[in-house]
Chains A and B, each alone.
Chain A
Amino acid sequence: MRHIISILLENEAGALSRVSGLFSARAFNIESLTVAPTEDASLSRMTIVSVGSDDVIEQITKQLNKLIDVVKVVDLSEAPHIERELMLVKVRAIGKDREEMKRVADIFRGRIIDVTESTYVIELTGNTAKIDAFIEAIDRSLILEAVRTGICGIGRGDRILKV
Chain B
Amino acid sequence: MLLTGAEIVIRCLQEEKVEFVFGYPGGSVLYIYDELFKQDKFKHVLVRHEQAAVHAADAYSRSSNKIGVCLVTSGPGVTNAVTGIATAYMDSIPLVVITGQVPTAYIGQDAFQEADTVGITRPCVKHNFLVKNVKDLAETMKKAFYLAQTGRPGPVLVDIPKDITTHKCEFAYPKSISMRSYNPVVKGHAGQIKKAMQLLLDAKRPMVYTGGGVILSNAAESLTKLVRTLGFPITNTLMGLGAYPATDKQFLGMLGMHGTVEANMAMQHCDVLLAIGARFDDRVIGNPEHFNEESRKIIHIDIDPSSISKRVKVDVPIVGNVADVLDDLQKQLATAQSHSDPKALAAWWQKIAEWRGKNCLKYKESNDVIMPQFVVEKLFEVTGGDAFVASDVGQHQMWAAQYYKFDKPRRWINSGGLGTMGFGLPAAMGICFANPGATVACVTGEASIQMCIQELSTCKQYRLPIKIINLNNRYLGMVRQWQEMFHGNRYAESYIDALPDFVKLAEAYGHVGMQITKPQDVGPALHKAFTEHKNDLVFLDFITDQTANVFPMVAAGKGLSQMILAEDL
Q: Is the CB of A58 within 8 A of B181?
A: no
Q: Does B310 contact A (CB under 8 A)?
A: yes
From residue A144, how far is it (CB to closest CB) to chain B in Å? 35
From residue B155, how far is it (CB to closest CB) to chain A in Å? 13
Q: Which residues of A contact B313 (CB under 8 A)?
A: 55
Q: Which residues of A contact B130 (CB under 8 A)?
A: 13-14
Considering the complex, give the chain B residue whose CB is closest to the CB of A22: B123
Residue tally, chain B, CB below 8 Å to A:
19
Q: Is the CB of B127 within 8 A of A59?
A: no
Give chain B's interface secondary structure class. Answer: mixed
| Interface membership of chain B positions 121-159, coded 1 if the CB is closer than 8 angstroms to chain A and 0 otherwise | 011001100100000000000000001000010000000
Checking B119, B181, B309 against A17 with a beta-carbon cut-off of 8 angstroms, the contacting residue is B119
Considering the complex, give the chain A residue whose CB is closest to the CB of B151: A66
| Interface membership of chain A positions 58-98, coded 1 if the CB is closer than 8 angstroms to chain B and 0 otherwise | 11001101101111000000000000000000000000000
Q: Is the CB of A21 within 8 A of B122?
A: yes
C-alpha spacing A21/B122, complex, angstroms: 8
Q: Is the CB of A68 within 8 A of B123?
A: no
Considering the complex, give the chain B residue whose CB is closest to the CB of A24: B123
Interface centre among B127, B147, B306 (most CB of A within 10 A): B306
Contacting residues of chain A (115-145) with chain B, CB-CB under 8 angstroms = none
Q: Is the CB of B310 within 8 A of A69?
A: no
Q: Does A103 contact B (CB under 8 A)?
A: no
Q: Does B304 contact A (CB under 8 A)?
A: yes
Contact (A14, B118) CB under 8 Å given A68-B147, A71-B181? yes
Contact (A17, B122) CB under 8 Å given A62-B305, A68-B179, A163-B180? yes
Q: Is the CB of B305 within 8 A of A65?
A: yes
C-alpha spacing A31/B405, complex, angstroms: 51
Q: Does B182 contact A (CB under 8 A)?
A: yes
| Interface membership of chain B positions 298-332, coded 1 if the CB is closer than 8 angstroms to chain A and 0 otherwise | 00000011100110010000000000000000000
Contacting residues of chain A (17-71) with chain B, CB-CB under 8 angstroms = 17-18, 21, 25, 55, 58-59, 62-63, 65-66, 68-71
C-alpha spacing A21/B121, complex, angstroms: 11
Contact (A10, B310) CB under 8 Å given A17-B122, A65-B305? no
C-alpha spacing A9/B306, complex, angstroms: 18
Q: Which residues of B contact A58 (CB under 8 A)?
A: 309
Contact (A9, B305) CB under 8 Å given A17-B119, A68-B126? no
Q: Which residues of B contact A13 (CB under 8 A)?
A: 130
Q: Is the CB of B122 within 8 A of A69?
A: no
C-alpha spacing A10/B181, complex, angstroms: 8
C-alpha spacing A163/B180, complex, angstroms: 8
Q: Which residues of A contact B119 (CB under 8 A)?
A: 17
Q: Is the CB of A59 within 8 A of B306?
A: yes
From residue B93, how far is it (CB to closest CB) to chain A in Å? 17
From residue A99, how far is it (CB to closest CB) to chain B in Å? 51
C-alpha spacing A9/B122, complex, angstroms: 17
Considering the complex, give the chain A residue whose CB is closest to the CB of B310: A59
Q: Is the CB of A70 within 8 A of B181?
A: yes
C-alpha spacing A163/B118, complex, angstroms: 27
Q: Which residues of B contact A25 (CB under 8 A)?
A: 123
Interface centre among B123, B127, B180, B181 (most CB of A within 10 A): B181
C-alpha spacing A27/B483, complex, angstroms: 30
C-alpha spacing A58/B306, complex, angstroms: 9
From residue B89, how far is it (CB to closest CB) to chain A in Å? 12
C-alpha spacing A21/B305, complex, angstroms: 20
C-alpha spacing A17/B118, complex, angstroms: 10
Q: Is the CB of B123 within 8 A of A21?
A: yes
Contact (A9, B309) CB under 8 Å given A18-B122, A68-B147? no
C-alpha spacing A70/B127, complex, angstroms: 12
Considering the complex, give the chain A residue whose CB is closest to the CB of B305: A62
Contact (A68, B306) CB under 8 Å given A13-B130, A21-B122, A21-B123? no
C-alpha spacing A66/B179, complex, angstroms: 13
Checking B118, B182, B304, B309 against A68 with a beta-carbon cut-off of 8 angstroms, the contacting residue is B182
C-alpha spacing A149/B138, complex, angstroms: 39
Q: Which residues of B contact A68 (CB under 8 A)?
A: 126-127, 147, 179, 181-182
C-alpha spacing A97/B152, complex, angstroms: 62
Q: Is the CB of A63 within 8 A of B118?
A: no
C-alpha spacing A66/B306, complex, angstroms: 8
From residue A148, how far is it (CB to closest CB) to chain B in Å? 28
From residue A5, how far is it (CB to closest CB) to chain B in Å? 15
Considering the complex, give the chain A residue whose CB is closest to the CB of B118: A14
Checking B123, B127, B147, B181 against A9 with a beta-carbon cut-off of 8 angstroms, the contacting residue is B181
C-alpha spacing A86/B119, complex, angstroms: 31
Q: Is the CB of A66 within 8 A of B304?
A: yes
Considering the complex, give the chain A residue whose CB is closest to the CB of B156: A68
Q: Is the CB of A71 within 8 A of B180?
A: yes
Considering the complex, give the chain B residue whose CB is closest to the CB of A42: B180
Q: Which residues of A contact B179 (CB under 8 A)?
A: 68
C-alpha spacing A63/B152, complex, angstroms: 13
Considering the complex, give the chain A residue whose CB is closest to the CB of B143: A68
C-alpha spacing A69/B127, complex, angstroms: 9
C-alpha spacing A163/B123, complex, angstroms: 26
Q: Which residues of A contact B180 (CB under 8 A)?
A: 71, 163
C-alpha spacing A63/B122, complex, angstroms: 14
C-alpha spacing A58/B182, complex, angstroms: 19
Checking B126, B127, B147, B306 against A63 with a beta-carbon cut-off of 8 angstroms, the contacting residue is B306
C-alpha spacing A55/B305, complex, angstroms: 13
Q: Besides A14-B118, A62-B305, A68-B179, 20 other CB < 8 A contacts?
A: A10-B181, A13-B130, A14-B130, A17-B119, A17-B122, A21-B123, A55-B309, A55-B313, A58-B309, A59-B306, A62-B306, A63-B306, A65-B305, A66-B304, A66-B305, A66-B306, A68-B127, A69-B181, A70-B181, A71-B180
Q: What would be 27 A-B contacts, judged by CB atoms less than 8 Å apart?
A: A9-B181, A10-B181, A14-B118, A14-B122, A17-B119, A18-B122, A21-B122, A21-B123, A25-B123, A55-B309, A58-B309, A59-B306, A62-B305, A62-B306, A65-B305, A65-B306, A66-B304, A66-B305, A66-B306, A68-B126, A68-B127, A68-B179, A68-B181, A68-B182, A71-B180, A71-B181, A163-B180
- Write the residues of chain B forming the contact surface with A, with a CB cutoff of 8 angstroms: 118-119, 122-123, 126-127, 130, 147, 152, 179-182, 304-306, 309-310, 313
Q: 10 closest A-B pairs (Cβ-Cβ)?
A: A62-B306, A71-B181, A68-B127, A62-B305, A25-B123, A63-B306, A68-B182, A66-B306, A21-B122, A10-B181
